[in-house]
Amino acid sequence: MSKDSDPYLKLDHIAKSFQRGSTTTEVLRDIHLSIANGEYISIIGHSGCGKSTLLNIIGGLTPVTKGAVLLQNREVNSPGPERAIVFQNHSLLPWLSVYDNVAIAVNKVFSGRKSRAERDEWIKHNLALVHMSHALEKFPSELSGGMKQRVGIARALSLEPKILLLDEPFGALDALTRAHLQDSVMEIHSRLKNTMIMITHDVDEAVLLSNRIVMMTNGPAATIGEVLTVPLARPRDRLALVSDATYTQCRAAVIEFLYARHKAPSLVA
């Protein structure tokens, strides 16, 4: 039974090692974190430290070696529609239209609960959330990178996930498209109030979007080095924040962690 005092999502002393022949690589060690319902968490850390591994563990795609992921006090160790993942490389099915790429997820999860007309409305509603209503019949090859990413986000949202897991969702996009999508994600988060966990390499993106930023130490055996709370009110406006002292302080704290105290291994002299 879950109690009110229990965290919504708990990463309970998670460790992960990969085995290759007789060699064991310890990637994550003692990852411990409680996340509240509706929080926006960013995970930041140098390349190869184990961020994707951690996200895949939360998504139930990778088994833990030690510890557990607890969602409302229940262990989750396999994928489920309540935890949707958006990958960095937009994973749309190229032979399906924008509409059908979302429909395939909706039909799978809601076929017993929603009528055909309700599902059609729901598919269109989610594509409208990411401003893609004008391209329902288009195929992935006809879309820009940002548009494909938006469809990927719509597909993930259409599952009504309690938790949306985003692995560098804007990594491959140009700066303007990236800013636009960040704004869309903030808008969706404020409207749906779901829990978001996002991996990023971008310090400004982490500060702009997050309630808390989880900073990871370098691998092997990476763990959480520090967790920074971002006490900025919402809605947040990127232009106004440029000259905001709290924003600047948060930014400086993350940069200090990543580039002074925990330099990328290849950059340490």
Ligand X SMILES: Nc1ncnc2c1ncn2[C@@H]1O[C@H](COP(=O)(O)OP(=O)(O)OP(=O)(O)O)[C@@H](O)[C@H]1O
Stretch of residues binding Mg ion (CB under 5 A), selected from 49-57, 126-134, 201-209, 210-218? 49-57
Q: Is 258 in the site for ligand X (CB under 6 A)?
A: no
Using the rule CB under 5 A, which residue among 14, 33, 52, 182 binds Mg ion?
52
Counting DSSP H helices and E strands in the chain, the numbers are 8, 10
Q: Please tell me the distance from the alpha carbon of residue 189 to that of residue 195, in angstroms, as a whole number.
A: 8
Q: Please tell me the distance from the alpha carbon of residue 242 to that of residue 208, in angstroms, as a whole number.
A: 10
Q: Is 211 in the site for Mg ion (CB under 5 A)?
A: no
Determine the straight-line distance between the first and last CA of the chain, rounded to whole angstroms: 51
Q: Is 51 in the site for ligand X (CB under 6 A)?
A: yes
Contact 15, 30 (CB under 8 A): yes
Give the CB-nearest residue to Mg ion.
52
Which residues lie closer than 8 Å to 250 by C-beta, 6 or more apart? 207, 213, 228, 230, 232
x-marked contacts with ligand X along 199-228 as a string, rule CB under 6 A? --------------------x---------
Q: Which of 42, 52 has the CB closer to ligand X?
A: 52
State how far the alpha carbon of 16 is from the alpha carbons of 92, 93, 195, in Å: 29, 31, 24
CB of 55 to Mg ion, least distance (A): 8
Stretch of residues binding ligand X (CB under 6 A), selected from 43-51, 128-136, 186-194, 202-210? 43-51
Look at the block and give the residue holding tokens 């969706």: 188
Q: Is 60 in the site for ligand X (CB under 6 A)?
A: no
CB of 156 to ligand X, least distance (A): 18
Where do contacts with ligand X occur on this chain (CB under 6 A)? 18, 27, 45, 47-53, 219
